[in-house]
Structure 1
Amino acid sequence: MSAFIKHYRPNSFVTVFNVRIWRLSSTAAGVTLKKDDEEEEFRVLDIMRKNQRQQRRVVRRADVQPDRADKMATDQNWGNVWPGPKTFHPSSVPLPLRQGYVPKGMAPPGKKANAELMKIPNFLHLTPPVIKAQCEAIKSFCSEWPKQLISEEVIEKHYPQEIITSDYCHASPSIRNPLARIVTLRIKLSTLNFDKHARDKFLRLVGDRYDEKTDIVTITADRCPLRKQNLEYVNYLLTALYHEAWTYDDWETTKIESDMEYYDFDLNKSKRNLIDWHLKANNQDNKLTDDDYKTFDVSKIPQADGYIAAVSSIMNDGESAATLKKYDAAVRKLLGLPEKV
């Protein structure tokens, strides 16, 4: 701008020429930049052409493999597919399983996306071939079954004690079921080899745990949290009851007939009456003392066992139609009378 003012003169061609030269020389590069700027600034937006250039989106679908259950062979080794307990997987089970509650008249949901099948434990791994294979594997750790134990009677004779436990499978966060700790011990009273005193005392200690019809004593323990503890506890109870039944307290030796908890034929007057009748029926002199009456063996009297059992039943169990009928039949046999028609 300063050069233009310095050389400017009115009506002068040189001045204009110089100005023109100066402008051309100074704006030669600027003209090119301005042209490029104009092209970028005034670019036309062609909407139709842009849509034509846009490519269509192609949706590629992945190849869906067939279900594993449909490809399983019928003669496959199921132990390799389902080796142990695990959550239900529909693609691994080639069975049309159904589970769940539905309204009446409709089929339960299938195995696909079935939460009912997945939240309960299953035993799909315990098939007969797998169980057989497992049994064959543990045979090397087992001993042979005794050949002498060929029947239930022989087993009860040599192993009279029976232990009963229960295992449970249920849907719960814990695999431990509270009912699995309960242990029941069963044993026949005749296998304990008690005498009269010990048997009576043992029965009074066990109370209603004895079943007279089956002659079995049942002891159940559930107070301990673990099954092993309850098993040890029932064995302890049986041992304590057995030894307590054989003990004699000092006051037991001084008991008389009125102190007895049950009717004892040997300590009552019925025994004396039976002996006196037997001696008179055989024309024998009765010169027995009190000690002789106590030591007299009434089992030598014919039909005396049935009479003793009938009298004891009436006195201990009470009078009823059954006990009176049994007493009537025993007296008739003792006296040699015909049976009642």
Structure 2
Amino acid sequence: MLAFTRNIEVGLSKHFEKSVVCWYSNLANAEVDRKDEFRVLNLKNVKGQIQQRKPQKQLRVLPPRTNQMPVDQDWGNVWPGPRSFHPATVPLPVRQGYVEKGAPPDKFANAELIKIPNFLHLTPPVIKRQCEALKKFCTPWPKALNNEETCQKHFPIEVISSDYCHSSPSIRDPLSRIVTVRFKLSSLKLNARAKDKFLRLIGERYNEENDTVTIVTDRCPLKKQNYDYAMYLITALYHESWKVEPWEKLKSEADMEHYDWEKSKSKTNVEAIFGQPAEKIENIEEYSEAVNKLMNEGESEYAWARYNEVVRKLLKLPAAPS
């Protein structure tokens, strides 16, 4: 009986030791695994610490600046340079946008007004002030150029181009490259033959009513390149007009593009009838003008009536009965 009891105690002792060893082994493994894991960030309050909540400060919203602006203020000091639109600074009821029903949105919290550029800094008083500041860098206008006729005489070429300002990823506008050059045909030193050839080369770019030649260039990507190209065209047209090809000397009266009474057989016949040069014949200028208009502008009732009248004057015949 005693031996049986001793055996039971030894068995329990070994089982207890084994359990303790397993418990320590599991605890060690848990500590090793815990070291490999990330530490947990606990943002909660620790028990026992009482944290008082801070009262929230209410921000004071100031009224718009437009409510405090005097009527006679200096706008150049309020809006001195280019900037984005600010609704609280502009004392104008500006609206921008579109809604299906009702008026367009007003200036407050309006993103459309911020997108587009504005020129609120370029008011007439500010422009005048800036011009006064730039005067010291400018030269006075020449006193001799006191009228339009004198300016056209000394500066016959007029260059027209456009600049555009818009909101875009590129600062270049495709339309800004277009250059228009105008000048009077009479400003070119051309004789009758060269003038006729010049007009044939430019075609529809000549306006006979105001004697103006207009050349528009837009082939090149830059404005400066189109301007140089326009100057090259004018130079080439001028020198080409003065060239005389061998075949041009063989042209007869039937080959002429327009009727010229001074070089026609009509002048020779009139001189033969009166027996003296055309310059000494009375009423010859009216006759030559009527013949030129009849031949160049075409037949009409007025042209024939005028021709009948000047022929009677030239031959000293009585006027036709009305």
TM-score, length of structure 1 as denominator length: 0.71
Aligned to 2:84: 87
Q: Which runs of 5+ in 2 are unaligned?
A: 1-49
Q: For the residues of structure 1 that align with 2:63 and 2:253, how far apart are their CA atoms?
A: 90
Aligned to 1:291: none
* Counterpart secondary structure, 2:63: coil
Aligned to 2:74: 77
Q: Give the fraction of aligned pairs with identical amino acids, expressed as a percent.
A: 57
Matching residue within 94, 115, 122 for 1:119 = 115
- Shift in Å, 1:266: 3.2
User: Residues 331 and 163 from structure 1, CA distance in 2 versus in 1: closer, same or farther, beyond 3 angstroms?
Assistant: farther
* Counterpart secondary structure, 1:92: coil
Q: For the residues of structure 1 that align with 2:256 and 2:265, how far apart are their CA atoms?
A: 14
Question: Which letter maps to 1:90?
Answer: P
Question: Which letter maps to 2:194?
Answer: A
State yes or no: 1:178 paired with 2:174.
yes
Q: For the residues of structure 1 that align with 2:315 and 2:164, how far apart are their CA atoms?
A: 61
Q: For the residues of structure 2 that align with 1:177 and 1:322, how far apart are their CA atoms?
A: 53
Spell out, residue by residue over 1:97-120, the C-alpha distance to the aligned partner (whole angstroms, 9 max, x if none): 11223446x332111111221111
Aligned to 1:5: none
TM-score, length of structure 2 as denominator length: 0.75
Aligned to 1:149: 145
Q: For the residues of structure 2 that align with 1:207 and 1:310, how far apart are their CA atoms?
A: 26
Question: Which letter maps to 2:283?
Answer: Q
* Counterpart secondary structure, 1:234: helix
Aligned to 1:248: 244
Aligned to 2:282: 302
- Shift in Å, 1:126: 0.6
Contact 2:177 2:218 in 1 (8 A): yes
Question: Which letter maps to 2:85?
Answer: F
Matching residue within 187, 190, 198 for 2:194 = 198
Q: For the residues of structure 2 that align with 1:63 and 1:202, how far apart are their CA atoms?
A: 77
- Shift in Å, 1:277: 2.7
Aligned to 1:168: 164
User: Residues 76 and 191 from structure 1, CA distance in 2 versus in 1: closer, same or farther, beyond 3 angstroms?
Assistant: same
Q: For the residues of structure 1 that align with 2:54 and 2:223, how far apart are their CA atoms?
A: 68
Q: For the residues of structure 2 that align with 1:339 and 1:220, how far apart are their CA atoms?
A: 52
User: Residues 96 and 267 from structure 1, CA distance in 2 versus in 1: closer, same or farther, beyond 3 angstroms?
Assistant: same
Question: Which letter maps to 2:281?
Answer: I
Spell out, residue by residue over 1:77-124, the C-alpha distance to the aligned partner (whole angstroms, 9 max, x if none): 3223323323212122222211223446x3321111112211112111
> Which is greater in Rg?
1
Q: For the residues of structure 2 that align with 1:232 and 1:204, how far apart are their CA atoms?
A: 23
User: Residues 140 and 216 from structure 1, CA distance in 2 versus in 1: closer, same or farther, beyond 3 angstroms?
Assistant: same
Matching residue within 190, 213, 218 for 2:214 = 218
Count of paired positions? 272
> Where does structure 1 differ by over 6 angstroms across 4 or more consecutive aligned residues?
53-57
Aligned to 2:62: 65
Q: Which runs of 5+ in 1 are unaligned?
A: 1-52, 285-295
User: Residues 167 and 305 from structure 1, CA distance in 2 versus in 1: closer, same or farther, beyond 3 angstroms?
Assistant: farther
User: Residues 130 and 271 from structure 1, CA distance in 2 versus in 1: closer, same or farther, beyond 3 angstroms?
Assistant: same
- Shift in Å, 1:325: 4.4
Aligned to 1:96: 93
Aligned to 2:4: none
- Shift in Å, 1:331: 3.1
- Shift in Å, 1:339: 7.7
Q: For the residues of structure 2 that align with 1:257 and 1:60, how far apart are their CA atoms?
A: 101
